[in-house]
Every structure is written in C-alpha cells, then in structure tokens.
Structure 1
Amino acid sequence: MNALPSSPGKGQGTVVVYPARENEPEHEKQVHFGLGRRIAQLLGLQFGGQYEPERRYPGRLYFIPSDTLIGMEFARGLGIASEDDLFGGVASHPFIPTKAISHALLSPDAVAPAGWSSEFGRLVQEAVLQGFTSFSLDDAHEAGKRLLQYGPLRIKPVHATAGRGQVLVSDLDELALALKALPTDRLADCGVVLEEHLEEVKTYSVGQVRLAKLVASYVGTQHLTPDNHGEMVYGGSDLIVARGGFDALLEANLPLDFQTAIAKARLYDQAASQCFTGFFASRRNYDVASGLDSQGKQHYGVLEQSWRTGGASSAEIAALETFHAQNQTQFVRARTLEIFGQQSQPPSHAVETFHGEDKDLGLIRKYVMVEPYGN
C-alpha cells in the first residue's frame, strides 16, 4: 500500500518507509505510514509512502526502516550515511541489534560469529542481568547449567518481540527439553540468550530520538496486556519526555528507580557506540527491567535495545511535535496504548493510530496521547 505524496510546496526531499523484514504485520505497516506522514511534516519534506527502488525521487531521501538496517555498504547504497538520513539505526552484523549482545559468551573460546565484541560484554556487565549468549547448543546447555545454580532462568529467542517465545526453565530436565525445541536455523549467526528469571518485574523504557534538529530523551514504564490468545504482551508505554539529552531528563525530579534505569541504559548506549564499528542510530530505545531474584534480591538490567521504530515511537514523535510547536515547553508526558479485542476503551483524548484485524493477532487498536508534565 503506497500513500499519495503530501501536497506540493514541501522542501526538496521525500520521507519513505523501508520494509526491512521478511514479514511486515499489517498493524505495524500502518503505524509506520502514520509516523512517516508526521515525520515528513517535522522535516518539511514530502511523504512518498513505501520506498520503490526503481522510482526517481527529487531531492534527498529520509528513510523509516521497519528494522535496523544491516550492512554499512548496503545503507550507503540507499543513500544513508548518518543518523540524519533515517529514523532508526544501522549496524554491521545481524546479531548486533538484537538482545544477543546484552550478555557475554560463556568463555573466551565459545562459538561466536564474525564481528562479536567481547569488550562490549565487559563494559555492560554492570548494566545487565546475569546471563549468557550462546551460538551453539553445547554452549547454551553449559550456560544454562551454570545459571541454574542461582535459580530459574529464561531462554529467549533473540528475534522475538513483546515477550513472546520465552521459556522459563527451573531444572536440568526442563533445560534439555527447551534447548531440544529451540530452532537452530539462525543460532550460529544470531544466537540465543539465557538469562536469570526475576519475579515482580517492572519494565522501564529509556530512550532518545534525534530528528529535525530536535533531541528528546525519555524514561517511563511499560505495561502488559492480554492479547487475543490470552498471552501477556506489550500493552503500551507511559513516558516522561524532556527536550534535550539525558542530563536534561534528569532535571525532571525523577524518582530513584527512574534514575537507576537511565544510568543502566546510558552505560549500554555508550558501550554500543564505542564497540561496534560504523554503528549509528537516530532512534535509541532500551528496555530495562527491575525485579527480584530467587533469593529476593532486587536487580536492574537492560534486557534489550531497539534501534528501529518501535512500540513507543508514536509517543516519541508526538513529543517532538509538541517541542517543535511550543518552544518554551521542556517536558511532556507521552503515552501509547495497545488494546486487543474489545476488552476496554481508550481515554477520550487518545488519538487512534491503528484499528483493524491482524491475521496473526486478531483485532488490535493502538493509541497515542500527549499531556502536560508537572507544572
């Protein structure tokens, strides 16, 4: 589905949506198109719908990829040379934009793909939960045995989103069964994560977006909601968004847990820029969890990163629109909401970004809201 370009009179250039995955869920495609129209307004460009390689576009192109783009040469071939050219990110290898990088290998001689950074694992060890990433079943089994000494663990496919596909393991028999059922077609190049299990989990979103000469940084919490199959999945984010960098965000008189989540995410973000050659991103989002381990001790740790349009992107762009229109506004509260089926109704001031049937998920509705923050 290609949208018509915006009316003439915009600046010389076009914003396009780039499908970067094999399967693009319809609800995500429509949200990306909506974001494209809004981003085009912020940039003063036309919106050209889905990118068509054979089409000649006047002026510059600004891309909204549906996933992190892999390969520096590939990105340059599209005309993407820096974060000013896209809403998202570029990385050199397919495992880099997944949760695989959040943990170190079991040992220095463990199986690893080309481009793996042992230095990254060392730098982020204070920012993540206890866990390992493995690129072979033998390494995964040994990593699981070691983690089970401290309590239950989760096996996490690195490409799953919204909490789907994870397996809770409490003993060696369950570990063996879970690994036997694990798909292995991408194991050697993308890996699998084994991570300590926490109870009473609270998940924070920490991120930063840079677009149209604006910078916005945020922290907030995610909530879960039952999908149409009864599985608890991502249901939206409630964010405090500041104009400027993370230091500006810390001026919002945040509670201690928010400050802790920001510190973990900043460490992770800085390590990624330091360790992965050529990596750049204009949209950086980090899921940070807090919860109790098997001994009742509280832990905080980054679960994964998102350098592409994600569940919070509607809120991010809505906040940028507010900062663009209101020069004196320094903080806003921005929220997203996802509702499956007819289980509830959104607040009266919510703006709908999608309403329809997804062939895999069933009926889903998505909303965004922006409200004043504090005084």
Structure 2
Amino acid sequence: MPSPTNRCRRAVVTVCAGGQPRSDHERASQAWVARRLAELAGWEYAGEYDPAHPPALRPYFVPDDTLTAAQAARLGIAGEDDLFGGVVPHAFIASKVITHGLPRECASAPEGWRAELGERLRPVVLDGFSAFCPHSAGSAGRELLARGGAIRLKPAQARGGQGQQRVEHPDHLEQAVAALDLLQLQQHGMVLEQDLVEATTCSVGQVRIAGLVLSYLGTQQQAPDREGLEVYTGSRLQVVTGGYEALEAVAGDALQREALDCARRYDAAVAEVHPGFYASRRNYDVIAGRDARGRWRCGVLEQSWRLGGASPAEVVALDAFLSGRVPRGALTASCHESHDLAHRPPPHAQVHFHDPFARRGPVLKYAVVHGNPP
C-alpha cells in the first residue's frame, strides 16, 4: 500500500485532552482511528500517550478534543502536521458559542472574545445568540421568540445534539434558564438559536494527513436509541481528493451548494479573526430547512476540529484512495452507529466497536466504502 508523501516514521498516540468522561465506544473509536492512521501512513501505533514515557519516534497525536495552544505547546505540537484535530488560542473557540454574537446588553464574555467574528458569520448561520450569564440568556431568548417560532437552547460543550431543549413560549424559557447550571454557563456559555422544521443536516469537512488532502460533503442520519431519544446514527459522505474547491463537482443540488458555501465562509472567517487557529481535521454541521414563517434557511450550526462521528468514514475513504482500489477523484463512504442488537454490518465494513452488552449508547459502530472497490 503506498503511503502519503511524508515518509518520516512517527508514533501515532491517543491523548485524552477534553477532561470529560468518555464512554467505551468513544475510547474504542479513538483508538481505532489512531491505529488505522498509523497503518495507512506507514507509522507505528503506540497507544495512549504517556508524557513520563514518550515514544522513541516523534509522536503524532490523535486527541479526543480540540486542543488549546497551551496544551499543544506542552505536547510539542507545532502545526497541523503533528495531530489529527485542531488547535485554538482559547478553549471557547472550539465550542459552538463562536457561531453567534452576544446580546446587546451582555456584560459577560471570555478572554479573547472577538465581537467581529459574530458579525462575519451572521450571513452563514441561523438567527441566534451566545450567552454566558442567565440575564443574557433570558434576554436573548425573549428576543428570538418575539421574532416568531421555537428556539433551541444548546449547552456549549454538548455533543451530538445532547442536552438541547426546544422552547416555544417565554414562560418555558424562564423555567429553562432558571434550571441552568450557573457555573457551567459562566465557564463555557450556551447558544440560543432559531429552530427549523423539515430540516436536513449536512456535513462539510476536510482531512489533511502527511501531505494528502481529502474533502467531503454529505448528510447526517438520526434515529431513536434504545431509550427512544433521537440521536446521531451516522453520516454518508461524498469524498474527493483535494480542497474544498474540488467539492463543487459533486455538490449536486442547491442545498449542497449552499451548505458548501456556508462552511467555506465560516472556515475562512475563523482563520482570519483567530490567526492562531489551525486544524488538520475540520467538520462543519450545516442545517437547511424552514423557519416559522416558511422561509428557507441554511446555516452552519457548529464546527468540529477534533476526532468526530464522521472520522471513521474519513479513514476508510483515506484507505481506499491510498490502496489504489479506487482512482483519485471521488468516492462514497459512510459510518454507522447502531442501537439495534440485531443489526449486522454489511460485507467489507470496517467495525470499530461492537458490544451487545453496552448499557447505553450504540452497540455497533462501523464504516464502509460504497461500490465495493476490489
């Protein structure tokens, strides 16, 4: 199997940077991605990083979260060639709070907050605000409700739609704000954003590793878990070799073209406003649907500059291109998270988690390249 252009051998290691409890399936996926990246690049897999006993080879990191510049410096990370993920000057830049500006009367903002980013992003996101105190959250929510339609309250650090609340009435808003964890709100913030109906969520992303660039455009799937809650269950991606401009050839309809444009503009705005930001793995969730007045809206919901739900699909696409099983150009790859005990993966799927006894979360996770390349 030909390896990417950077042939200097390295040791691929995982690192827990987020500080939040990780489930068994999250740890398994992180380790699988790191192991497969090592195999594909012709490097070594060295397991979880231990600063007291670093590997003999120069490490390549696969963290579970976006790193701050301070964390990256401690690990010896100097640029995007040193990790599968991203680095930001301040921790809040890695969360969804940067998607929106602050309410007019907001007095609370984290160090490093740049008001101009919210203005730059306004044309490519939905109506919304970020807030770091109950007063700002309440005033932002009331303003959005007055414009018509339901809104969503989103904790800054929640993933996969978890922890969100849909609110339609000011009384319900006040109850929701009163129940917020004050310390979490002050430290991390939250997003209040208009809700859409008849909505589709697209994924636009890019992976860069050892000289190879893949970009993709696709859609996400949701389904009920074993508790009946709607959760993320996978993504289906059109993957191309090259930058975002190469996706223009596979953006087959107006929705995909607009989603691609929104993601590219979001990506460029963050890089310009926060020059200390860099990432080898970028993913943007873009939603399209109708607001309460029936108007078509499209906007970026949030960014992910870390190992994410679509990463297994990114890895099997990388494998297919590097192996020569498909010509350089475009292919379709998908990843799946099943909560169905009877679910069986299709032939040629690469399984990265299977535990039928898992008490919560998916019991099976796998990725596959479609078209069954030989």
TM-score computed with the length of structure 2 as normaliser? 0.93
Correspondent of 2:264 among 255, 263, 266: 266
Number of the residue aligned with 1:154: 152
Asked if 1 retains the 8 angstrom alpha-carbon contact of 2:15 and 2:61, the reply is: yes
Shift of 1:109: 5.1
SS in 2 for 1:112: coil
Partner-residue secondary structure (3-state), 1:296: coil
Match in the other structure for 1:97: 94
Quick one: distance in 2 between partners of 1:332 and 1:192? 37
Contact 2:25–2:362 (CA under 8 A) maintained in structure 1: no
Unaligned 5+ residue runs, structure 2?
1-6
The residue type paired with residue 79 of structure 1 is: G
Instruction: Note closer, same or farther for the CA distance 1:363–1:313 as it changes in structure 2 (3 Å cut).
Output: closer
Q: Aligned-pair distance for 1:93?
A: 1.6
- Give the RMSD, CA atoms, in angstroms: 1.9
CA distance in structure 2 between the partners assigned to 1:79 and 1:368 by the alignment: 32
Which residue is 2:3 aligned to? none
More divergent stretch after superposition (324-333 vs 123-132): 324-333
**Superposition pairs for residues 80-95 of structure 1, below 5 Å?**
80-95=77-92
Q: CA deviation at 1:11?
A: 5.4
SS in 2 for 1:155: strand
The answer (yes or no) to whether the contact 1:331–1:372 under 8 Å persists in 2 is: no
Report the AA paired with residue 113 of structure 1.
Answer: P
Contact 1:69–1:89 (Cα < 8 Å) also in 2 = yes
User: Cα 1:195–1:322, aligned 2, differ >3 Å: closer, same or farther?
Assistant: same
Q: Could you give the per-residue CA deviations for residues 141-191 of structure 1, whole angstroms, max 9, x where no partner exists?
A: 000110001221111111111111111111110000111111122212321
Give the secondary-structure state (helix, strand or coil) at the position aligned to 2:315.
helix
Identity of aligned residues (%): 42
**Alignment partners' CA distance in 2, 1:338 and 1:109:** 39
Distance 1:126 1:253, change over 3 A: closer
Please say if residues 17 and 33 of structure 1, whose CA atoms lie closer than 8 Å, have aligned partners that are also in contact.
Answer: yes
**Distance in 2 between the 1:266 and 1:233 partners?**
26
**Alignment-derived partner of residue 276 in structure 2:** 278
Report what 1:179 is aligned to: 177
Of residues 245, 255, 258 in structure 2, which corresponds to 1:257?
255
Alpha-carbon distance between aligned partners in 2 of 1:174 and 1:108, rounded to the nearest angstrom: 22
Whole-angstrom CA distance in 2 between matches of 1:172 and 1:261: 31
Match of 2:13 in 1: 16
Query: 344-353 or 241-250, which moves further after superposition?
Result: 344-353
Quote the Cα distance in structure 1 between the aligned partners of 2:297 and 2:360: 32
Deviation at 1:277, TM superposition (A): 3.5
Please state how far the C-alpha of 1:107 moved relative to its aligned partner: 1.7
Query: SS of the residue aligned with 1:59?
Result: coil
Q: Number of paired residues?
A: 364
Residue identity opposite 1:83 in structure 2: E
Matches within 5 A, 1:165-204: 165-204=163-202
In structure 2, the CA distance between the partners of 1:259 and 1:16, relative to structure 1 (3 Å rule), is same
Separation in 1, partners of 2:163, 2:54:
41
Conserved 8 A contact 2:217-2:251:
no
Tell me the distance in 1 between the aligned counterparts of 2:327 and 2:358: 44
1:3 maps to which residue? none
Q: Unaligned 5+ residue runs, structure 1?
A: 1-9
The answer on 1:328 being equivalent to 2:327 is: yes
Question: Does the 8 Å contact 2:331/2:370 carry over to 1?
Answer: yes
- Partner amino acid for 1:364? V
Does the aligned pair in 2 maintain the 1:42–1:212 contact within 8 Å? no
Deviation at 1:121, TM superposition (A): 0.6
Are positions 1:31 and 2:62 aligned together? no
Distance in 1 (CA, whole Å) between partners of 2:259 and 2:361 is 33
Partner of residue 368, structure 1: 367
Residue type of the alignment partner of 2:42 = G
User: In 2, distance between residues paired with 1:349 and 1:14?
Assistant: 27
> Which residue among 112, 125, 130 is the counterpart of 1:128?
125
Q: How big is the shift at 1:346?
A: 3.4
How big is the shift at 1:132?
0.3
Question: Which residue of structure 2 lines up, in the alignment, with residue 237 of structure 1?
Answer: 235
Task: Kindly indicate whether the alpha-carbon contact (under 8 Å) linking 1:102 and 1:128 is maintained by their aligned counterparts in 2.
Answer: yes
Amino acid of the structure 2 residue aligned with 1:335: S
- Residue 342 (structure 1) aligns with: 341
**Aligned equivalent of 2:4:** none
